[in-house]
Amino acid sequence: MSIHRTHQIDRDTAEQLLRGRPAGSGVPEPLAALLAAASAPAREHELAGEHAALAAFREARLDQMAGERHPSMTRTAVNRLFSLRVAVATFAATATLGGAALAASTGALPTPLSPKAPATRPAPSAPTPSASADGPGSQGASTSPDGRRSGHPSAAPASALVGLCRAWQAQPAANREKALEKPPFAPLVRAAGGEQKVPAYCATVLAGAPSKEPKKAGPSSRPTEGPRSAPSPRRPEIEE
């Protein structure tokens, strides 16, 4: 093929696109449509884990309130006790040197109600025992995204395979093999029965898939209606 036109999207335009602002004339329509689709408002199946998340919130809340009354009775208090033992050993070691006051003033001695460090680093602890007993996490996960998945945790709805096939086909030929190694395409590879079988599999899948043209008719179809001026804020409004 002849030289393809690479899009010289300048940084300002790119920044506007990334912030979800309606893009000017310099933006290729398909890219704007793709980003609009990626940031489309929540679909119902994406909120399927709400029940489990609320259960976790309630339990954490109870835990916190119990901790405030009876520090000795909570799991986290037990954890702190463990770290307290370590701190006591340090304290004992420094006390003889008269460093006890220094240790206390620098905060080396944890108090029972001292807040944990903000969890911006990965928490090493596994999910708590009562959480796994209730199974809120697994319940939430297996309440499948669109209510139609099988119990298999990695089963892909057939409609998702259509999307994956299209996304795979949109890759340049040289990149297709490598693309199949990326996590989102794993269900496609499994469904096809192997990376080599994906081309034939996708040809079949897309032959039977609904065409994209009817999108203009549906009232709920948003993503390709011009530049991204969708009413719902892309940056989720948490403030109320």
| Cβ contact 235:18 at 8 Å | no
Judge whether 165 and 206 are in contact, CB under 8 Å.
yes
CA distances from residue 161 to 36, 104, 138, 192 in whole angstroms, order as listed: 20, 60, 24, 10
> What is the DSSP code (8-state) at residue 109?
S
Binding of other proteins by 230 (CB under 8 A): no
If one counts every other C-beta atom within 10 angstroms of the C-beta of residue 206, the result is 14
- Asked whether position 66 contacts other proteins by CB under 8 A, the answer is no
Nearer to other proteins, 101 or 113 (CB): 113
Q: Tell me if 90 contacts other proteins by CB under 8 A.
A: no
Of these, 22, 71, 110, 223, which contacts other proteins (CB under 8 A)?
223
Closest to 206 (Cα-Cα) out of 239, 236, 170, 161 = 161
Is residue 218 within 8 A of residue 210, CB to CB? The reply is no
Q: Is 129 in the site for other proteins (CB under 8 A)?
A: no
Cβ at position 99, least distance to other proteins in Å: 28
Q: Cβ 154 to other proteins, closest distance in Å?
A: 4
CA distance 69 to 77: 12
Q: Which is nearer to other proteins, 22 or 166 (CB)?
A: 166
- Tell me: does residue 106 bind other proteins (CB under 8 A): no
Please select the residue that binds other proteins; options are 95, 170, 200, 203, rule is CB under 8 A: 170
Q: Is residue 54 at the binding interface for other proteins, with CB under 8 A as the rule?
A: yes
Among 52, 77, 198, 202, which residue interacts with other proteins (rule: CB under 8 A)?
52
| Interface positions, 6-25, toward other proteins (CB under 8 A) | 6-9, 11, 14-15, 17-20
What's the sign of the alpha-carbon dihedral 13, 17, 22, 26? positive
- Binds other proteins by CB under 8 A, chosen from 24, 57, 86, 194: 57
